[in-house]
């Protein structure tokens, strides 16, 4: 049964954000989680995404609200065909080299046909796609507030294979990209309900390219709490001190805005992660979608998610795995 949004509990939020990780085929879990958000009336105003999350995000942002879940369903029903690796040629296999590669032409055509990029570039829903430069490794955010986005930007952020966008080569190095939480620092302060959907969250060093979202969230929370503290200092400081130019410059970094951050993690055995992330077959895809729906519905049923943070706290974090808080040793 859907958990419907309680307007009394969410009225204080100025925006609802969604941050989506990479994870290859595990992105079906992410899509199912979004479907549960949609059923509950939690409609995002701003999405930041990378990896497979960039495709999910573009399908959401490039569709009318009532058609978003249907577009996600269409993509994941065809994902095995759109994203299955092309087998290397016979001579290449005989020589013992050439790992399977992905031909992006079918996926590019699908994105152009299924996503309304005019709607995306109108900016009704803010969309940021995090891509990594293929040569320098620099992370860049393609934002519909500053860029005219097209299929090439989605493919660049997806990282499935090297893709050219805006005259540069992007992606192809890290399909298992963690949620781009660090980019939240670029978001102007406002009272925010933020959902971070991580397709995986392996411990650092266990899996190459594994998500470090928990550490990034802790760092973001520390910086945001400091801004909140500066806001309190500004409130209590005598006007004659606040007017001092140097003090004013410091206090300008403060903010009284708060964030409720929900970090929802899909549990995956780290040893099986690479194989699972590459398995787009129909049965596991459907199972992951259903798991995402269950996990998000269980999370939304927790009243604590919408409660205001303590007065001196800028960000309150709810980490949930399978819709439940993890057990700490």
- Give the distance, in angstroms, between the CA of residue 223 and the centroid of all CA atoms in the same chain: 20
Q: Give the global pTM.
A: 0.86
Rounded to an integer, what distance in angstroms lies between the CA atom of residue 266 and that of residue 242?
A: 46
Query: Residue 168's beta-bridge partner residues?
Result: 165
pLDDT in tens, the chain (329 residues): 344 444 445 778 999 999 999 999 999 999 999 999 999 999 999 999 999 999 999 999 999 999 999 999 999 999 999 987 654 333 333 334 444 456 688 999 999 999 999 999 999 999 999 999 988 888 899 999 999 999 999 999 998 888 999 999 997 645 567 888 888 888 888 899 999 999 987 554 454 444 567 778 888 888 877 777 777 677 777 887 777 787 777 767 767 788 899 999 998 887 888 889 889 999 999 999 999 999 999 999 998 888 888 877 888 899 888 766 665 44
Tokens of 64: 């009318």
Give the max Cα distance, the chain.
Answer: 79
Beta-sheet pairing, 168-170 with 126-132? unpaired
Rounded to an integer, what distance in angstroms lies between the CA atom of residue 25 and that of residue 100?
A: 16
For the range 139-147, what are the long-range contacts, defined as Cβ-Cβ under 8 Å and sequence gap of 24 or more? Answer: 139/180, 140/170, 141/48, 141/180, 141/183, 141/186, 144/61, 144/120
């Amino acid at each position: 049964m859907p958990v419907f949004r309680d307007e009394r509990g969410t009225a204080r939020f100025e925006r609802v954000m969604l941050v989506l990780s990479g994870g290859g085929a595990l992105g079906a879990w992410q899509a199912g989680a979004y479907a549960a958000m949609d059923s509950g009336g939690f409609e995002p105003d701003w999405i930041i995404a990378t990896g497979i999350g960039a495709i999910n995000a573009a399908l959401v942002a490039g569709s009318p609200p009532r058609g978003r879940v249907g577009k996600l369903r269409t993509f994941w029903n065809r994902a095995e065909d759109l994203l299955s690796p092309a087998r290397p040629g016979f001579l290449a296999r005989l020589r013992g080299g050439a790992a399977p590669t992905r031909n992006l032409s079918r996926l590019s055509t699908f994105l152009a046909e299924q996503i309304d990029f005019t709607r995306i570039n109108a900016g009704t829903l803010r969309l940021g796609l995090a891509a990594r430069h293929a040569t320098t490794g620099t992370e860049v955010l393609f934002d519909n507030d500053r860029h005219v986005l097209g299929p090439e930007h989605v493919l660049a952020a997806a990282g499935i294979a090297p893709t050219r966008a805006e005259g540069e080569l992007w992606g192809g190095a890290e399909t298992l990209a963690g949620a781009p939480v660090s980019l939240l620092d670029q978001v102007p302060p406002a009272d925010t309900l933020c959902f971070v959907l991580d397709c995986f969250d392996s411990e650092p060093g266990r899996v190459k390219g594994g998500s470090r979202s928990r550490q990034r969230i802790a760092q973001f929370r520390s910086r945001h709490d400091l801004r909140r503290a500066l806001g309190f200092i500004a409130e209590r400081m005598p006007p004659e001190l606040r007017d001092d130019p140097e003090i004013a410059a410091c206090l300008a970094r403060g903010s009284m805005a708060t964030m409720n951050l929900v970090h929802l993690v899909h549990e995956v055995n780290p040893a099986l992660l690479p194989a699972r992330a590459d398995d787009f077959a129909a049965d596991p895809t459907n199972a992951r979608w259903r798991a995402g729906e269950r996990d998000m519905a269980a999370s939304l049923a927790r009243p604590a998610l919408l409660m205001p943070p303590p007065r001196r706290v800028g960000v309150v974090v709810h980490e949930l795995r399978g819709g439940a808080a993890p057990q700490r040793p």
